[in-house]
Structure 1
Amino acid sequence: MNLQKFSPWNWFKSERGDAGAPAPMEPRHRELSPLLGMHQELDRWMDGVMRQFGMPALESRFGEMASLLRPQLDIAERDDEYLVSVEVPGVDEKDVKLTLDGDRLIIEGEKRQESSTKEDRYQRIERSYGSFRRVLDLPVDARPDEIRASFANGVLKVHVPRSGEVRENRREIPIQ
């Protein structure tokens, strides 16, 4: 079952590199053997399948570590705006960067590990640290010049105002 068909706008086409959308910046490694090429293609296929069911993708490629730090987000549609809420617990506001590149909203940042002393002998480390990046494709009715954002309690809220043009074309069809 393709769950994407229930979504009115594909906010993530640039993250996945769908056809017709600019692919995310990712180094292309020369295929060393046909087996390696098959392995990379199987990884890409599995990532797509996992994303369709709402599971985090492994995103592992040859020579790269799996992307462990991927902030979860919610996108709410309102009559006058879209509200994007991004969870970034343990990240300072100064370590989050929000940019607009054409019709793509880019959320980047870094979660830094607290300084530790030589006396620290870790028994277990479960928290992830490092850089993160999310790329969202704005819908056609978004007004990018009026985007505003706020940050509180580890949650980045991005308000994307909507123009009324697309909504006016909607109408309810009576069921007989």
Structure 2
Amino acid sequence: MLETEHGVPIHREDAGWAPLIDPLRTFGHKISNFFSPTSEAASDDNAYTIVVELPGVGEDEIDVSVDENCLMISGEKTMERVEKEKTYYFSERSYGRFQRSFRLPADADQDKIYASYKDGVLTIKVAKLEEKQPTARQIPIGLD
């Protein structure tokens, strides 16, 4: 019997892989409508950079927002048309809603966040706040 998900066959009983795959299948179904894109974060003297891989996701399907020092990236990767004439033995492609959140460091400037998207890669730059140099000043002593 052929098992399908979203109309795409994902497993054949006679494929001989059942003993290896079945223990993981239950977990896979629980997260099948949600995937977490891979990402990396780095910084230099002036900014933090977050890069998120989103192949197959259209720019208009991505939402980037910031709230209370938390950067949120969400969207949806929609499934391409499945050809019914084909027999699929498995599909490892991920579809569905996604969401990633990143807690911004205390020195991140939430008013200077810029995002760009090219070739399935979302790049977000978060400027660092300028360090305030301590200034010396005289404190007057007043009478109560």
* Unaligned ranges ≥5, structure 2: 1-26, 135-144
Kindly state the Cα deviation for residue 122 of structure 1 after the two structures are TM-superposed.
1.5
1:143 correspondence with 2:109? yes
Determine which of 45, 60, 78 is the counterpart of 1:79. 45
Could you state the TM-score of these two structures normalised by the residue count of structure 1?
Answer: 0.55
Matches within 5 A, 1:20-35: none
Letter in 1 for 2:72: I
- 2-side partners of 1:96 and 1:120: how far apart? 31
What is the SS of the residue equivalent to 1:94? Answer: helix
1-structure distance, mates of 2:91, 2:51: 27
Q: Residues 139-167 of structure 1, C-alpha deviation per residue, up to 9 Å, x if partnerless?
A: 1111111101000011100000001228x
Equivalent pairs, count: 106
Tell me the secondary structure at the aligned position of residue 63 of structure 2: strand
Mapped to 2, the partners of 1:66 and 1:117 lie a distance apart of: 24
Question: Structure 1 or 2: larger helix share?
Answer: 1
| Match of residue 71 from structure 2 | 105
Q: CA RMSD in A?
A: 2.1
Q: Of Structure 1 and Structure 2, which has the larger fraction of its residues in strand?
A: 2
Q: Which has the higher contact order (CA 8 A, sep 6+)?
A: 2
User: CA–CA distance in 1 between the matches of 2:84 and 2:93?
Assistant: 19
Residue of 114, 124, 141 corresponding to 2:90: 124
**Once the 2 structures are TM-superposed, how far is the Cα of residue 116 of structure 1 from its aligned partner?**
1.9
1:66 aligns with 2:36: no
Q: Is structure 2 residue 81 aligned with structure 1 residue 115? A: yes
Q: Are positions 1:90 and 2:56 aligned together? A: yes
Structure 1 residue ranges without an equivalent (≥5) = 1-59, 170-176
CA distance in structure 1 between the partners assigned to 2:89 and 2:61 by the alignment: 28
| 2:57 maps to amino acid | V
Letter in 1 for 2:30: M
Q: TM-score, normalised by structure 2?
A: 0.66
Identity among equivalent positions (%) equals 39
